[in-house]
Amino acid sequence: MKSKKVCMIGRFAVGKTSLVDRFVKNHFSEKYQTTVGVAIATKIIDDHTKFIIWDIAGFEQENHYKPYLRGAHGIIYVVDATEPASLSTLEEIVADAPELKDLPSVCFINKADLTDDINWTEASNEQVAQFSQHSYWTSAKTGDNVEDAFLALSKHLS
Amino acid sequence: MSNDREKLKALLLSEEIAQLKAIQQLLQDKQQLAQKISEVLDPAADLTIAENPEFQKKFSRIDPESYVQAVKTNKQTFIDALLPIIGPMIRKSVTSAIRRFVADVNRAVEMGISAKALRWRWQAFTTGVPFTEIVFNNTIEYQVQQVFLIDNHSGMLIEFAGHEDDLLQDKEAMSAMLTAIQDFVKDAVSKDGEGLSAAELGDDLVWLIHGNQANLAAVIKGAPTARLRDTMTESLESLHLEQHRQLVDESRWNNNPALKNELEKLLLTKDQSSDDETKSGVNFWPWIIGLTALLAWLLWSGYQRRQVQNAVTEQLQSTPGFVLQSLQHDGDQFIATGLQDPLARLPELDHPVVINSTPYLSLADEVIGHRVSQWLNTPGVKVSVNDQQVTLTGEHDKVADWPAKLQLIGMMPGVQQLHDQTTESHVFELAAFLQQHPAPHQLVVAETDQGFVLTGLSTPQALAEFSQLLVSHGDIDPTAVTTVNPTAVVDQINQTPLLFSSISRLGPSQQQQLAELAQSLAHLQAVGAVPALTLRAQSDCQGSIEESNENNQRRLQLVYDELKALGVDVDDIELDNVPCSTTTETIDLSRIGVWFEVTL
Ligand SMILES: Nc1nc2c(ncn2[C@@H]2O[C@H](COP(=O)(O)OP(=O)(O)OP(=O)(O)O)[C@@H](O)[C@H]2O)c(=O)[nH]1
Ligand SMILES: [Mg+2]
């Protein structure tokens, strides 16, 4: 079995930790507890692959996160479908660390369950395509698509 | 017949024969053969070494005789080349040997008078083993439980040894976590240093040794000695030297017998269980000596004093954020030295104590609590800290940038986890609003059932801007506000001279006028204007020039004194006497008096 280092990247409160909790423990909480530094979780994907998930604290101005990305095998970008600023945050991160583009990645467009508040356009899709080829509408709350999206990344990793 | 066979052969195998010939030729032509073999030599060597590590040694075998000869004939060159490498190594090992020696001697001195130690001395005497060695072997007590070999670039686990069941997390997560913590420490604390070298994990200790390619981490129960660090360092060095290939090749990580074997050697245990005396219980020697000393001390200093000192010590020791190092008598008072967090709250002490402290950052729950609430400065939020877990309850203001604040609290030293249970306040808090948007000048806001009543002083513009901010929270009644328009006030003053001809006193109407002037000046100051005032005395120049000028001077003085008596507090009041050049015949009262000129 091979271990793969996967990093969760995105603005604070987009739901990185919630997605990891849904995927690893099949559990969701409405309560927001911000991640400090980085939290590590692991999950066995199949006979050949084990994910070591680095859930990195929300990305703000500083680039303290850079050391955490070293040696990553794959990237999960997370954007909040109801919060356009979270997409700009991702663009800034990729501009700041262009080497990320060379890694296999997927983009989770999260909080898909909040249908009334969704603020997403065709242009948003194009913006995502600039840094990640694959995107999935997910909801950590209902669990929709979460597992599929993680498994999709594992396919791109081999 | 044979001819036919040749023909047949030629027909069937002509191509193969040609190929065989070519191979034969290749084998005979040394240069061509060398060329061909060189193309596969490199991958072939890699393969062989992978399957049989011993193979490599054949290539690295050296002839010691020739080296000895070279060193003999050319000593200085060798010394020059090796000194930069060996020098630091020697220094390092001398330092660590000295440190070990000191630790051992300390232990020996500690043990020097116990019965156990006497027995060890006897053992040393009879067996010839050095005493320190025996002390060392009998006192250390620790157990290396798990060993991790971690890629220091990505934090991925290369190899592991030990019991996996005892771990808090699975081994891959542990390895990633240790690396993340280390990155964090490097980033936050020691920019160019080596970073984390030890950490506490519950009751266990984690030691980290840094290597070029990989780091070694060990989870240890008990109290390890410096020797263990040396053993770990040596082991990591030899892994780098001998197994370098395995360290860098990701495909060979996890369940690599060669690496695992090396790590397993580190899972050693040292304990005192063989020492029966420990089991039998107490060693009386230190007690007897201690009691005798205590008795002597009691006789000398008296019981009472001790009592006070104990109480003060206890008070100080139980103060979160204060670390007491010593407490000494100085005449009637005590002098306490120690470390003190600026946020520590010292209790009322039973006895006069002079605190002589060095600042430090305390991670005690209570002090973390003070720090967080002081920084938050949000009256509605209650901060409680338990085991470095911070919990926020209550209501926080709607206007504050709350998530960013939480993020920063999370980064405060000592804060392990943050639970935000606050709710966003939907009630408008006037105090909180005013803290964010202070009212301009001397404006006073009062909240009533109907909305806000404004009183006090303000410029019209500041009043409008402030009302704009406040209006979304309720109706505003600004009728009681005195609005001060600085330019209008200045014009008004400058256009209203004080006409009077007396040179000995001011009449009631003049006093009234000056009182109004004084108030206007105070209003200007209240809205932040800095007025400069010139008093300009003029007269009708009737009679003599000299007399007129003198009278002017007197009137100036009268006005000046009156203004001062009214409490006018303008920085510079200039007195200007406009002299007469020619005299006139007629009395003109509208030209006698004092004119004012205010500039901002
Ligand atoms: N409705 C809805 N809420 C979600 C979803 N995912 C997360 N949330 C909520 O969004 C908030 C933030 O979620 P987190 O997972 O803690 O966000 P994060 O990205 O880990 O934030 P940081 O650790 O601060 O970087 C929480 O209150 C979650 O309950 C979702 O799919 N749907
Ligand atoms: Mg999080």
Query: Closest Cα of chain B to A123: distance in Å?
Result: 28
CB atoms within 10 A of CB B32: 12
Query: Closest Cα of chain A to B52: distance in Å?
Result: 24
Q: What is the pLDDT of residue B92?
A: 65
Buried b (16+ CB within 10 A) or exposed e, B58-72: eeeeeeeeeeeeeee
* Residue of chain B minimizing CA distance to A38: B180
Crossing angle for the helix pair B75-111 and B64-73, nearest 10 degrees? 100
Q: What is the pLDDT of residue B273?
A: 39
The answer to whether the Cβ–Cβ distance between A13 and B403 falls below 8 Å is yes
Rounded distance, CA B469 to CA B381, Å? 24
B449 DSSP 8-state letter: T
- Taking the Cβ of residue B415 and every Cβ of chain A, the question of whether any pair is shorter than 8 Å is answered with yes
CB-closest option in A5, A32, A33 to B156: A5
- Taking the Cβ of residue A25 and every Cβ of chain B, the question of whether any pair is shorter than 8 Å is answered with no
* Ligand number, closest to the Cα atom of A58: 1
Q: Is the pLDDT of residue B264 over 70?
A: yes
Q: Is the pLDDT of residue B552 over 70?
A: yes
Closest Cα partner for B142 from B241, B33, B223, B24? B223
Phi/psi at B447 (nearest 5 deg)?
Answer: -100, 125
The answer to whether the Cβ–Cβ distance between B173 and A34 falls below 8 Å is no
Buried b (16+ CB within 10 A) or exposed e, A74-107: bbbbbbbbbbeebbebbeebbeeeeebeebbbbb
Provide residues with CB under 6 Å of ligand 1: A 10, 12-18, 29-30, 32, 34-35, 57-58, 110-111, 113-114, 139-141
Range of lowest pLDDT (B155-159, B295-299, B332-336)? B295-299
pTM, full prediction: 0.45
Band (pLDDT 50/70/90 cuts) for residue A91 is very high
Burial class (CB in 10 A: 0-12, 13-18, 19+), B559: buried
For the segment B321-334, the average pLDDT, to the nearest whole number, is: 81
Minimum-distance ligand 1 atom for the alpha carbon of A139: 31
Minimum-distance ligand 1 atom for the alpha carbon of A142: 31
Q: Is the pLDDT of residue A5 over 90?
A: yes
DSSP per-residue letters across B7-63:
HHHHHHHHHHHHHHHHHHHHHH-HHHHHHHHHHHHHHHHHHHHHH-THHHHHHH---
Cross-strand bridge partners of residue B532: B599
Q: Is the separation of the CB atoms in B163 and B146 below 8 Å?
A: yes
Query: Closest Cα of chain B to A105: distance in Å?
Result: 17
Between B4 and B467, residue with greater pLDDT: B467
Q: Is the pLDDT of residue A44 over 90?
A: yes
Nearest CA to ligand 1 atom 6: A15
Q: What is the pLDDT of residue A79?
A: 96
Q: What is the pLDDT of residue A22?
A: 96
For the segment B139-165, the average pLDDT, to the nearest whole number, is: 85
* Residue of chain A minimizing CA distance to B158: A3
For the segment B417-442, the average pLDDT, to the nearest whole number, is: 78
- Taking the Cβ of residue A71 and every Cβ of chain B, the question of whether any pair is shorter than 8 Å is answered with yes
Q: Ligand 1, residues A12, A32, A56, A87: which to mutate, most atoms within 8 A of Cβ?
A: A32
Average pLDDT taken over every residue of chain B? 79
Q: Which residue in the block uniquely carries the two structure tokens 């089991």?
A: B279
B421 CB neighbours in chain A (<8 A) are 31
Q: What is the pLDDT of residue B531?
A: 84
Nearest CA to ligand 1 atom 29: A30
The answer to whether the Cβ–Cβ distance between B180 and A41 falls below 8 Å is no
Q: What is the pLDDT of residue B10?
A: 74
User: pLDDT (tens digit, 9 = 90+) per residue, B489-516?
Assistant: 899 889 989 888 888 888 888 899 899 9
CB-closest option in B176, B184, B254 to A37: B184
Nearest CA to ligand 1 atom 27: A32
* Ligand number, closest to the Cα atom of A31: 1
* Highest-confidence segment of A32-41, A60-69, A98-107, B462-471: A98-107
Q: What is the pLDDT of residue B137?
A: 65
Q: What is the pLDDT of residue A129?
A: 95
Our measurement of the distance from residue B54's CA atom to the centroid of its chain's CA atoms, rounded to an integer in Å, reads 51
Closest Cα partner for B217 from B189, B180, B250, B192? B180
Q: What is the pLDDT of residue B192?
A: 57
Q: What is the pLDDT of residue A59?
A: 73
Q: What is the pLDDT of residue A62?
A: 57
Rounded distance, CA B123 to CA B135, Å? 11
Q: Is the pLDDT of residue B148 over 60?
A: yes
Q: Is the separation of the CB atoms in B136 and B107 below 8 Å?
A: yes
Which residues numbered 29-48 in A keep a CB inside 8 Å of some CB on B? Answer: 31-38, 40-42
Band (pLDDT 50/70/90 cuts) for residue B4 is confident
Q: Is the pLDDT of residue A144 over 90?
A: yes
Q: What is the pLDDT of residue B585?
A: 76
For the segment B376-399, the average pLDDT, to the nearest whole number, is: 82
Diameter of chain A by CA atoms? Answer: 43
Band (pLDDT 50/70/90 cuts) for residue B149 is very high
Q: What's the token pair of residue B533? A: 């005032």
Residue B403: partners with Cβ closer than 8 Å, 6 or more residues away:
A12, A13, A34
Q: Which residue in the block uniquely carries the two structure tokens 């989870």?
A: B219
- Taking the Cβ of residue B50 and every Cβ of chain A, the question of whether any pair is shorter than 8 Å is answered with no
Q: Is the pLDDT of residue A95 over 80?
A: yes
Which residues numbered 274-313 in B keep a CB inside 8 Å of some CB on A? Answer: none
Q: What is the pLDDT of residue A19?
A: 97
User: pLDDT (tens digit, 9 = 90+) per residue, B563-577?
Assistant: 888 888 877 788 888
Domains of chain A by start residue, with CATH? 2-157 (3.40.50.300)
Q: What is the pLDDT of residue B439?
A: 82
Q: Which residue in the block uniquely carries the two structure tokens 């630091």?
A: B88
User: pLDDT (tens digit, 9 = 90+) per residue, B266-286?
Assistant: 887 655 434 444 444 455 566
> Which CA distances in Å does A145 have to A109, A138, A151, B116?
10, 5, 10, 69
Range of lowest pLDDT (B17-31, B302-316, B444-458)? B302-316
Range of lowest pLDDT (B67-76, B127-136, B390-399)? B67-76
Diameter of chain B by CA atoms? Answer: 170
A49 CB neighbours in chain B (<8 A) are none
Percent of chain B residues topping a pLDDT of 70 = 80
CB-closest option in B172, B419, B421 to A42: B172
∠ CA B302-B308-B310, rounded to 5°: 100
Rounded distance, CA A21 to CA B440, Å? 50
User: pLDDT (tens digit, 9 = 90+) per residue, B517-546?
Assistant: 898 888 888 888 888 889 898 888 887 888
For the segment B262-266, the average pLDDT, to the nearest whole number, is: 88
* Highest-confidence segment of A5-14, B11-20, B101-110, B202-211: A5-14
CB-closest option in B155, B411, B416 to A5: B155
Q: What is the pLDDT of residue B65?
A: 67
Rounded distance, CA B415 to CA B222, Å? 26
User: pLDDT (tens digit, 9 = 90+) per residue, B77-124?
Assistant: 766 666 666 666 666 666 666 666 666 666 666 666 667 777 877 888
